[in-house]
Chains A and B, each alone.
Chain A
Amino acid sequence: MKKLLPIFIFSFVLSSCVKDKPQNTIQPQVQLTNAKKVYVINEGVFPNGNAEVSLFDTGNDAVIEKFYANQNSNAALGDVAQSMNYFNNRFYIVVNNSHKIIVCDQDFKKIGQITSLSSPRYILPVTNQKAYVSDLYANAINIIDLNTNTKTGSIPCPGWTEEMVLIYNKVFVTNVRKDYVYIINTINDTKIDSINAGLNAGSIVIDKNDKVWILSTGDNQNSISGKLTRINAVTNQVETSFTFGSTESPGTLKLNKTKDTLYFLKGGIYRMAITDANLPASEFISKGTKNFYGLGINPNDHTIYAADALDFNSRSNIYIYNSNGSAKKNFKAGLNSNGFYFE
């Protein structure tokens, strides 16, 4: 027995460690009001399959962080939710690395999906029956039949196609890998023109005068400047163009409700009127130590929503600013929040 004594002593030495079970920091049960909701698109961390959509209730500040799982019996949304669009009373969530678009009803319950996509980025309805989907790798715009949720064809578009807008039966397609924005005729689904709008263009909006604004990020490693370009949507001609410094990386162009003020990210948040003669000289909302990744302007109350992705591997902080730029409140959302949809 004496020989076994050290064994027992040893066993006791072992028992003073950290408790393994982590604490769940996410509130499981919240009450929602009838106020307008804000949907936060959380990309998740590639390739961990932890994309989600968070729901923020502007009435009582309640957050349902995993809203998709909540409404769909804990189902996972997939890997890398790139964007979400709402039309025809349906939500369309583009899940990039799951190669699909999840279709949800107004209660956010899944009612279908669009598959056979390579690496989808954004979905834009062209008619009530037809939508276009941009793609990272396909070198084409996918054509989707919204009645059957199936891919019916594609329009060749070399490069990495990104955000799109529709005006006068034309779709303007931004491109990350090329200097050109492609224009597609939506009647016959053919590419009709292209416009030089700078390298690495990813965001595009239409102002109150039906002008198309494109923000290209450029490539500061190779000293290629970003550009903000205004295009006449009738003539497809560049009307004006602003050039950023070659070390800057602007992105994420947004528009307010009255479509007369542009917002974008360049570290901090910048804004300018569509009539301004120059790019804003100073930032509107300072970045501080934040790492802004997503931006949205709430059309209901003109507040500005900015998502801080921290180290890109943590739950995001969503900051809400008043229209004058003062901080209003903040809340936690899912991982790598990259955009918002305002009810």
Chain B
Amino acid sequence: MLCLFASVKCLSQQDTVSLITVEVVTYKTELSQIGKKTEQVDSTIKEQFKSNSVGDVLNLNTPIFIKNYGPGQLATTAFRGGNASQTAILWNGFNIQNAMLGQSDLSLMPSFLFEDIGIEYGGSSSLWGSGAVGGSIHLKNKTLFNQGLKTSAGFGAGSFGLKNVSTSILYSGKRFISSSKIYNSRSQNNFSYKDTSDKDQPIKQQKNAGYNFLGLMQELKFLINSKQILSINAWINSNKRRLPGFDPSAESKTYQYDNVTRITANWNYTTSKFRSGIKAGFFEDRINYKDSLTSLFSKSKTQTIIAENENYFTWRKHHQLNFGVNYTSSTAFTDNYAGTRTLSRFSFLIGNKFSFFQNKWLTYVSARAEYFSVGALPITGNISTEYNLTRNVFLMASAAKVYRQPTLNELYWLPGGNIHLKPEQGYTFEGSVNYKTQFNKVSVLISGSAYSRKIDNWILWVPGANGNPSPINVQRVWSRGAETAWKISYTRNKFFYKVNVITGYVLSTIEADKQENNNTINKQLIYTPRYTVNANILFGYDKAAITFFNQYIGYRFTTSDNTQWLNPYQVSSVRLNYSISLKIIDIILFGACNNLFDNNYMVLSGRPMPLRNYEFGITLQSKN
């Protein structure tokens, strides 16, 4: 249940029997993570966030700043000073960012769908392509063969009419796996908040913010023979929500429907020295926006096709070569363009992993070249290394060239779209030190990382002809900072406790600005807090666990000249779970109190967050 040192990688030698069950994407992830800070969301924490979104999990457990418009509303990342489109969101290795917007909404991704949620810090464009600039979020399905039949049903309820249902059925045989998950989450979301600018009537109630998210995930996995495995995954979801207006207590008749279909197939061929994978994916994002008050109706559909081949070849004892090709094509159908528009990208990747001193020292070098249907994309590359200095000290360093291609909207939106946009690109450097030790049943892990990244051709929408905003390559942004993690855990008999303190410090300033007249040089990017701290303490006894979360988010500037800002906030919550083991089922009870001290806060300007609120849940899980 407890994975104590999640962020320290253990690249163990795997025997050939289990090799086949490790899919190629896992190898790619491991390669990408050499020399880079990584983190896996702890399984106890994952259990406590079972009915929450991936955005909620990342918000309280990582230094990533989640730009959240409120419960159930848009949640995107600000990762190491980058924006939402500078984070790669990868589902089993497929980048699922919406190609029109260049971002995905983490509110629409329930965390329970993924057996594994991993965070890769730092840029990795040569492996993951466009967008892997500030970091990557890995959402993975990990099912093992031969586990039998497992079913579970979860029910949750909470403040403001929150209701959750999630069920899963896993059949895991010797050669075949079927995993089905269905979820529904809905809420009226009509919470009260304090409007400090209104002296007469400060307590207001948010209206028109209800949501209803429904989805299904299906995984089929076939062990064809001892060398081949085929998996097919589908994730279909239909999400309806109302969007509150600028004044959340005022009338709003805005609805947004996000209907998403994601289907992937993945074939893996594995021998002791050679691994090959072919995968293909089809992704369709339909977004319908409707505002009857302002008579705005907008429909858009984006279809993305991804085909990829990757090969890993151990050509010498300490050398593993990898090479692959990727084809990605995205087509947008919307009235907001002058017609149907397609972006295609054909990429070639090559890399080599070197391992020395019984795998104590690993180095990975890679390069990626691409053909892009609109303009040129840079050749990207990466060199990274990690070294086990002593039993306790682990060192990592990495340098990479990274980029983000312009999105369909940036290129083709009418009016304003700019077909001449260049990709955002730059270099990123980072280094980390991990120290771990263990004494008297106490485990300590301390890690510190520092990074620096300069991105040129940063794209911003600025007022253009007729006052219509138009995106241009306008700025050079220097993001640098440091993160630390302090993790102490103690286990004695049935008792265990853990303390995690995660800090983030980000300076993300504008170094150059092509807008003639600006007041932005050396100013911090808007909505990029310089300081974030997440601290949590977990106490557990046998099958019960309680965790206290405390989060501090520093000043966020709301104007580019840094003269207006939102004040820092501190928010606490508590989550607990308790499992009861009966003859044929396990019953897991869950409870949470969010915003424990009833703080009035906003993550983003004009978007109040709920005061103290509660969640409860019960999960019934079959035993083998």
Contacts and interface: CB of A to CB of B under 8 A. Distances in A.
Interface of A: 3-4, 6-7, 10, 13-14, 17-18, 20-22, 25-26, 45, 47-50, 69, 73-76, 78-79, 97-99, 115, 118-119, 136-137, 139, 200, 217-221, 249, 251, 288-291, 308-315, 335
B192 interface: no
Interface string B510-535: 00010111111000001000110000
Count chain A CB atoms within 10 A of each CB in B245, B517, B520, B557 and give the residue with the most.
B517
Count chain B CB atoms within 10 A of each CB in A3, A48, A119 and give the residue with the most.
A48
Contact of B199 (A10, A22, A73): A73
A4 B486 CA distance: 12
Given A6-B435, A315-B563, A20 B568 contact: yes
Contacts of B505: 17
Interface string B554-569: 1101111111110010
B463 interface: yes
Given A6-B435, A13-B448, A137-B294, A311 B197 contact: no
A50 B564 contact: yes
B559 A335 contact: yes
Given A136-B294, A310-B561, A49 B606 contact: yes
B439 A3 contact: yes
A311 B250 contact: no
B513 A311 contact: yes
Contacts of A119: 294
A113 B462 CA distance: 33
Contact of A314 (B446, B482, B520): B520
A172 to B, nearest CB: 22
A311 B563 CA distance: 13
Contacts of B515: 291, 310-311
Given A18-B530, A22-B557, A314-B519, A76 B250 contact: no
What are the nearest 7 A-B pairs in CB distance?
A314-B561, A137-B294, A76-B197, A289-B516, A313-B560, A49-B606, A79-B246
Nearest to B447: A10
A217 to B, nearest CB: 6
A14 B462 CA distance: 37
Nearest to A115: B250
B78 interface: no
B439 A97 contact: no
B484 interface: yes
Contacts of A18: 507, 530
Contacts of B486: 7
Contacts of A22: 555, 557, 562, 565
Contact of B519 (A97, A218, A311): A311
Contacts of A78: 246-247
A10 B447 CA distance: 9
Interface of B: 196-199, 245-247, 250, 293-296, 392-393, 415, 435, 437, 439, 444, 446, 448, 462-463, 465-468, 482, 484, 486, 503, 505, 507, 513, 515-520, 526, 530-531, 554-555, 557-565, 568, 605-606
Nearest to B531: A20
Given A73-B199, A310-B561, A221 B517 contact: no
Contacts of B561: 310, 313-315
Nearest to A24: B563
Given A17-B531, A75-B199, A311-B462, 5 more contacts: A26-B563, A45-B559, A98-B246, A118-B294, A291-B517
A10 B519 contact: no
Given A137-B295, A289-B516, A314-B518, A20 B555 contact: yes
Given A10-B484, A49-B606, A313-B559, A75 B197 contact: yes
A98 B518 contact: no
B333 to A, nearest CB: 22
A219 B466 contact: yes
A103 B463 CA distance: 30
Contact of B606 (A3, A4, A20, A47): A47
A34 B484 CA distance: 57
Contacts of B563: 25-26, 314-315
A200 B466 contact: yes
A25 B291 CA distance: 39
A2 to B, nearest CB: 10
Main secondary structure of the interface of B (DSSP, over half): loop
10 contacts: A10-B446, A14-B448, A25-B563, A49-B606, A50-B605, A78-B247, A97-B246, A200-B466, A221-B468, A315-B559
B65 to A, nearest CB: 14
B605 A313 contact: no
Nearest to B520: A311
B605 A48 contact: yes
A310 B568 contact: no
A335 B531 CA distance: 26
Contact of B197 (A10, A74, A139, A310): A74
Contacts of B520: 311, 314
A175 B558 CA distance: 32
Nearest to B463: A312
A311 B460 CA distance: 10
Contacts of A3: 437, 439, 444
A93 to B, nearest CB: 15
Nearest to B198: A75
Given A20-B568, A48-B605, A49-B605, A6 B446 contact: yes
B244 to A, nearest CB: 11
A137 B296 contact: yes
Nearest to A97: B246
Given A20-B555, A289-B517, A310-B517, A7 B446 contact: yes
B606 A79 contact: yes
B488 to A, nearest CB: 9
A308 B517 contact: yes
Contacts of B415: 221
Contact of A139 (B295, B503, B516): B295
Contact of B448 (A10, A21, A48): A10
A97 B517 CA distance: 27
B314 to A, nearest CB: 36
A73 B195 CA distance: 13
Contacts of A313: 526, 559-561
Contacts of B294: 118-119, 136-137
Contacts of B518: 310-311, 314
A221 B555 CA distance: 40
B433 to A, nearest CB: 8
Contacts of B562: 22
A291 B568 CA distance: 32
A312 B513 CA distance: 13
Contacts of B463: 291, 309, 312
A221 B415 CA distance: 8
Contacts of B557: 22
Count chain A CB atoms within 10 A of each CB in B246, B293, B435, B484 and give the residue with the most.
B246
Contacts of B484: 10, 14
A118 B293 contact: yes
Given A10-B446, A10-B484, A78-B246, A45 B558 contact: yes
B348 to A, nearest CB: 38
B527 to A, nearest CB: 10
Given A137-B294, A220-B466, A98 B247 contact: yes
A288 B517 CA distance: 9
A315 B466 CA distance: 22
A218 B526 CA distance: 33
Contacts of B606: 47-49, 79
Nearest to B195: A76
A48 B296 CA distance: 20
A158 to B, nearest CB: 11
Contact of A312 (B392, B437, B462, B468): B462
A202 to B, nearest CB: 9
A4 B446 CA distance: 10
B444 A7 contact: yes
B246 A47 contact: yes
B352 to A, nearest CB: 33
